[in-house]
Amino acid sequence: MNGKVQGIIICGVIAASLAGMLVFLNATDKDKNKQADSSAADKKVSSAAEMEHIFVLDKESEEISAIKAENENGGFTLDKPASGKSSWTIEEISSVNQNRAMKDSLISDCGHLEASKIAEEDAQDLSKYGLDKPRASFEISYTDGTKSKVLIGDAAPESKYTYIRIEDSSKVYMILTIHISDMLKAAKDFANLSLIAKPVNNEDWPDYGKETITRSDWDYQVVFENDPNENSNMLSSQVISEPIFSYLNITGSSDVTHGMWGLTASGCEAVAPSDEQLKEYGLDSPRCVVNLKGEDYDYTLKIGGESYAEAAEGENAALLGYYCTLEGVKGCNAVYVIPAENLPWVTFKIEDVISNLITSNYLVDLAGMSVTVDGKEDLFEMTTNGGSNDKDENGKPADITSVKAGGKDLDIYQYKSLYQFIMSCPTNEIWFEEPEGQPEVIIKQVRKDGGEDVIEFYQDTSRRYIVKLNGKTSYRIQSTWIDSLKTNVENLKNGKEINTNF
């Protein structure tokens, strides 16, 4: 055969083979595409099935006019607002402020009540779901006059679901328990537990008035009010004025002086309590009463008996808080449980809140100081180049420029040391009993603004002196401090070093 013709034939066979192969490959690809399309379609159908909603009830919230729940805790009735009302109302606790977020959530859940699964389409034995004798139910009334009643059965075994059904229906649903948990609550559980709002911005705080604390374990009252001297040197603008006068340690005192704002309960125990209930909760004779009164407010918090959590047999019950009532706030006619950490007034001590300084005066704010011992007065006259809020031309704080006693110049550094010693007078023992006789030592500080602070020391025993601050009995101190004070006054006058130990 001619080689050229043979080559042509071979090429033709190869071409035919390639063409057949292409036809086979195209057919195979089409089959694969069909399978892929079929698989994708199946997935879409499966996905659509998974996304199918199972509505037990399907109404808009606007179509609901009332919800009535019945359960072992007493249940509640939530009514749609009548003309003039601003929100839905739990009728059983209409005298107290209510938690709006809880009510809105309840209404929303009842509108489109969605189950997760159908447990059984036509259940003939309802007892296995706890639906032959439901533990609770809720009935929803609609604006068109119709009603739907849902029965609540048992919790599904080892799951987060609960069995429910519509009354007169044998279809049993499994619903997430969280969607119907509010239906198991008592009316009082919808009370608003935020009792007094806490201002967000500093400028929104009301002017501080007077806080009076009375406790069953005290034979006196403690009173906090604004500093009458308006001393800007102290971090706290308030002072304790009864039973002693003292400036405050802001770290320890702020919860006591300002804790009423932001007061929050953990639960509501009884709405519009009767006298019998007040007695039951220890509020007929409260352990602590806090009254905070200002220009536009007058709050009275009464703190009664302790509230404990239920404890397992053999275990100690944990303290949840105290039973309390609050007067002066509209919509708080109830007995609340308030956590112990929100009630600092029950356990605080005066020593916890006062400043450890017997006086708050800066030395540069004084015009002079005198120390009288056994009737003999030493007057120390001072000159300064400004006050505590001033600075000199170089930006340095104001300072003492001279100190004199009896016309004699004294060492400024030693005078500052004496003043530091006086400021450190120990104030750790509070004392209320009036001293007898006359003061043995008197320290008088005369301020540039014309005011003065007077500290008097009366001997009580051989080892103790009673201290009066501006005429009010306040502390009792060691006699060794008085001995050191007398020595230091003489040391200053004689040019000797001040000893700050005692």
Dump pLDDT digits (tens) for 318-327: 899 999 999 9
Residue labelled with tokens 């389409």: 121
**Rounded-to-5 percentages of helix, strand, coil across the chain:** 30, 35, 40
Model pLDDT for residues 309-359, shown as the tens digit of each residue: 887 777 888 899 999 999 999 999 999 999 999 999 999 999 999 988 888
Kindly tell me if the per-residue pLDDT of 1 is higher than 70. no
At 126 the pLDDT is 96
Q: What is the mean pLDDT of residues 456-484?
A: 94
Confidence of residue 36 (pLDDT cuts 50, 70, 90): very low
Average pLDDT in the chain: 87
Domain C-terminal end among 298, 318, 353:
353
pLDDT for residue 350: 93
Let me know whether 162 and 231 are in one domain: no
49 is a domain residue: no
Please give the distance of CA 288 from its chain centroid, rounded to a whole number: 19
Cα–Cα distances (Å) from 394 to 82, 391, 397, 413, in that order, read 71, 8, 9, 21
59 and 106 together in one domain: yes
Containing structural domain, residue 155: 55-190
What's the CATH code of the domain at 115?
2.60.40
Last residue of a domain, one of 316, 335, 353: 353
The count of structural domains within the chain is 3
Phi, psi of 296, deg, nearest 5: -120, 15
Dist. CA 203–CA 166, nearest whole Å: 54
Residues sharing a CB contact under 8 Å with residue 147, sequence separation 6 or more, in sequence order: 139, 140, 141
In a domain? residue 310: yes
Residue with the bigger pLDDT between 85 and 180: it is 180
Q: How many helices and strands (H and E) does the chain possess?
A: 7, 27
Same domain, 312 and 379: no
Contact 175/56 with Cβ under 8 angstroms?
Answer: yes
| Predicted local distance difference test score (pLDDT) of residue 10 | 38
- 212/180 same-domain check: no
pLDDT band at 17 (very low <50, low <70, confident <90, very high): very low
Sheet holding 452-459, edge to edge: 408-409, 400-405, 376-384, 366-373, 441-447, 452-459, 464-469, 472-478
Q: What count of residues does the chain have?
A: 502
**Same domain as 235, residue 153:** no
Would you state the pLDDT for residue 391? 83
Q: Are 349 and 274 contained in the same domain?
A: yes
Q: What pLDDT sits at residue 310?
A: 82
| 253 and 329 together in one domain | yes
In a domain, 396, yes or no: yes
Q: Do 245 and 345 fall into the same domain?
A: yes
CA distances from 85 to 5, 63, 88, 370 (A): 104, 18, 8, 68
Q: How much is the pTM?
A: 0.79
User: Is the pLDDT confidence value at 374 over 50?
Assistant: yes
Q: What is the pLDDT of residue 87?
A: 77
Same domain, 317 and 419: no
Q: pLDDT exceeding 70 applies to what percent of the chain?
A: 87
pLDDT digits (tens, 9 = 90+) for 40-95: 444 443 344 345 789 999 999 889 999 999 999 999 999 987 654 567 899 999 99
Strand spans (E) along 246-315: 246-247, 267-271, 288-293, 298-308
What does 40-82 look like in DSSP terms, one character per residue? HHHHHHHHHHHT--EEEEE--GGGEEEEEEE-TT--EEEE---
Average pLDDT over residues 162-187: 95
Own/partner contacts of 97-104, CB < 8 Å, gap of 24 or more, are: 97/191, 97/192, 97/330, 97/331, 97/332, 98/190, 98/191, 98/192, 99/190, 99/191, 99/192, 99/193, 100/192, 102/182, 102/190, 103/78, 103/190
Q: Where residue 395 sits, what CATH number does that domain have?
A: 3.30.1490
